[in-house]
Every structure is written in structure tokens, then in C-alpha cells.
A = this chain, B = another copy of it.
Amino acid sequence: MNEQLITHLPRWLEASRAHAHEGKVAAYIPELAKAPGNALGISIMGKTGETVAAGDTSLMFTMQSISKIFTLMLALVDNGEDGVFAKVGMEPTGDDFNSMLKLELVEPGKPFNPLINAGAIAVTSLIHGSSPAEKSGRVLRYFQDIAGGAPLAINEEVYRSESATAHRNRSLAYFLKDNEVLGEEIDVEDVLSVYFQHCSIEINVEQLSRMALVLAFNGTDPITGREHIPRRYVQIAKTFMLMCGMYNASGEFAIRAGIPAKSGVSGGILAMVPGIYGIGVVGPALGAKGNSTAGVHLLETLSGQLEWSMM
């Protein structure tokens, strides 16, 4: 583990925490609104499992959009590349994550990539299982395995609130049904229930850094030596993270930090330094483009100080 990192992380974290006040905690459901706006926590894990952590590391948060990375890889395992990319594209889009513009304007109306909401819903519909419960169960176990084996759980209150209020996601899903991205045999509410459940899986930064570590080592957990995900699918996931993992600030983050990352509306960020570190961050206060203001500042600081950029 890098000495400079061990020495300076607490100070860098506190400097970044000052940027929390530039953001606001997501408030569209009460369960997210009660997260502490000033919190910031990070865990950085190396290949033998050694970890440097700082700040609010015990804060539990839901994975939200971070889960889209792992459901994409599970859908690839279940359906292969051709099966997945028949339903979702490979291109970044400069539109909002919940936009319907390109679904209406671009023929054929399939979602541009698996990380916008429409694309992630399409991906979730591809996960194998004979019932929503079986699918959710598979997802949860898959996430758990990658996170090192300790049990993960769905936050039921978040799940119920998301499900009850997610009219825009319902609108997207029915649009996909109309465009035949969701086929005739697919029940929209079933897909959404699996989708809201994987968004509601609760985690902390250390578990998140373990999941990131597996990606940093191309799908094989360097601590156990166990291959969780085929290398090719990790490569695909990392490419999407670099291009569109940070909503409409993905380009800016790629230029400033230059590492694959995926953020969620709970303020979590999964990031990695390929071949070296898996990283989990949480900072609930979000900027205008939906990313943790303090979390982004911290990752950009680290990348700058330690020359992490892949580019």
C-alpha cells in the first residue's frame, strides 16, 4: 500500500468533505433524504486485501445505479454479448439519465447504453430466472459473492418507496415495451420489481471496495483467486464506466480523474485503479449532475496526487 496514500488520506478526505455543502442529499424518497449531508467515507483495497480507509466508513447506503454495472455483467453471463446488445446500445448519450428523447427520436428506439435508466431496465429484463423472486435472489447472491461472501440485504423501505414513486421509470419501461425492447412475454411490473430491488441493496464502502477490487483485477478476486466474472465482461463494464459511469459529468471525470467509476443517487461511488486498487466512496450530498460532490473531489484529488489516470 502506497505510503503517501496512508499518510495523507485523512487530510485529503477532510479537504474534500468541505465540498459536501455544494451538493444536496437526494430527497425524492424519505429514506434517501435522511442520509447525513456532510458525511464522506472511503475504502481503498489492494490486491492482498489490505485496506486504507477514512471518514464515515460505517455508513450503510443503497447501491442505486452502481448496481447497474453488476447486473450488466450478470446479464452478459446469462445471455452473451449478442443477446445483451440486441436490446441495448453501446454509445454514450449526452441526455439525462432518465431521458426518453432518444427512445423517441432515434430509430430503432433502443436505449443507448446499459447505464442510463432505460438501458438498465432492459438489462434487468434479461437476467435469467423463473420469477422475479428467483431473479432478485440470483442478483443478490451474485453481488454477495463478488463482495467477498458476507451477506448483503435489500433495504425493504427503500425498495417499497422507490417502487411506489418511480413513475418515470414506469414510463420508461412501458416505452420500452412499446418499442419491443421488452418483449411480449415480459411483464413490466415484474422487471421493475427486480430493478428496484437491486437498486436497494445496502452496502458500505468497504464492501464496495471489495466489489471494485474484483473488477480492478479483471473479474478474479485477487484475495481468494476465485474468478467471478469473465474478463471480457469486466472489460465491457469498465469501458462503460469510463465513458458514462458518472451521468452527464462522465467526460469531465474521465478527463480529471481518468479512472473507471460508477456513481449512484445515494452518494456512493465505485471506482478502481486497474490492476491495483478497488475503491468504495460514499458522500450523500449530490451536485447538479447527480454525483457526490465531496466524493468526486476526493477521487480527483487522489488521481491527481497519485497519478492514477489510465489515459
Q: Which residues of A contact B (CB under 8 A)?
A: 89-95, 99-102, 104-106, 112-113, 167-168, 170-175, 177-178, 188, 235-236, 238-240, 242-244, 248-252, 254-255, 258, 260, 309-311
Instruction: Name A's interface SS.
Output: helix
Q: Are A251 and B175 in contact (CB under 8 A)?
A: no
In the bound complex, residues from chain B placing their C-beta under 8 Å from that of A252 are 90-91
Q: Are B251 and A113 in contact (CB under 8 A)?
A: yes
Q: A167-B188, A171-B175 are in contact. List 16 more A-B contacts (CB 8 A).
A: A91-B250, A93-B93, A94-B94, A94-B102, A100-B100, A101-B105, A167-B175, A171-B173, A235-B309, A239-B258, A240-B255, A242-B242, A242-B254, A243-B250, A243-B251, A243-B254
In the bound complex, residues from chain B placing their C-beta under 8 Å from that of A311 are 235, 238-239, 242, 260
A168 to chain B: closest residue by CB: B178
Please report the C-alpha to C-alpha distance between residue A211 and residue B250 in the assembled complex, in whole angstroms. 27
> Among the listed B94, B113, B242, which residue makes an inter-chain contact with A91, where contact means beta carbons less than 8 Å apart?
B94
A102 to chain B: closest residue by CB: B94
> Among the listed B101, B173, B239, B243, which residue makes an inter-chain contact with A101, where contact means beta carbons less than 8 Å apart?
B101
Please report the C-alpha to C-alpha distance between residue A98 and residue B52 in the assembled complex, in whole angstroms. 47
- A-B CB contact pairs (8 Å), 11 listed: A89-B251, A92-B93, A99-B104, A167-B175, A168-B174, A168-B175, A168-B178, A170-B170, A171-B178, A235-B255, A239-B255
Q: How far is the CB of A8 from chain B (nearest CB, A)?
A: 22
Q: How far is the CB of A26 from chain B (nearest CB, A)?
A: 15
Please report the C-alpha to C-alpha distance between residue A126 and residue B308 in the assembled complex, in whole angstroms. 30
Q: Are A167 and B171 in contact (CB under 8 A)?
A: no
